[in-house]
């Protein structure tokens, strides 16, 4: 499953976890990305991987778009 998520500067993708593996591409903007204990600043063209059941979240530092890919698909997004 692939999802585009748009953020305004200051927007928060609150820390959470799920059983899916996730790969995310930064299509636009700049983000502080928290995965487990690691914190990175990522910008357009960067990507990151989130293993299953690892706490993760983002803070948008510049208006941006993240392209999230999940496997298996997210039932909670379909409902």
Q: Which residues on adjacent β-strands are paired with residue 67?
A: 4, 25
The residue extents of the domains of the chain are 2-70
Q: Which CATH code is given to the segment(s) 2-70? A: 2.60.120.10
pLDDT in tens, 8-25: 999 999 999 999 999 999
Q: Is the pLDDT of residue 79 over 90?
A: no
- Contact (Cβ atoms closer than 8 angstroms) between residue 6 and residue 73: no
| Total-model pTM | 0.93
- Contact (Cβ atoms closer than 8 angstroms) between residue 67 and residue 1: no
pLDDT band at 75 (very low <50, low <70, confident <90, very high): confident
> Looking up tokens 């995310």, which residue turns up?
24
Q: Provide the 8-state DSSP code for 78.
A: H
What's the pLDDT score for residue 76? 83
CA 70, 11, 31: angle at the middle one, nearest 5?
65
For residue 5, give every residue at least 6 positions away whose Cβ sits within 8 Å of its Cβ, in sequence order, or none: 13, 65, 66, 67, 68
What percentage of residues in the chain have a pLDDT greater than 70?
Answer: 100
């Amino acid at each position: 499953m692939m999802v585009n998520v748009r953020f305004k500067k200051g927007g928060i993708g609150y820390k959470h976890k799920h059983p899916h593996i996730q790969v995310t591409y930064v299509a636009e903007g700049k983000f502080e990305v928290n995965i487990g204990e690691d914190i990175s600043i990522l910008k357009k063209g960067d990507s990151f991987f989130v293993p299953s059941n690892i706490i993760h979240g983002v803070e948008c530092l510049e208006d941006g778009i993240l392209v999230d890919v999940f496997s298996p698909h997210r039932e909670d997004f379909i409902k």
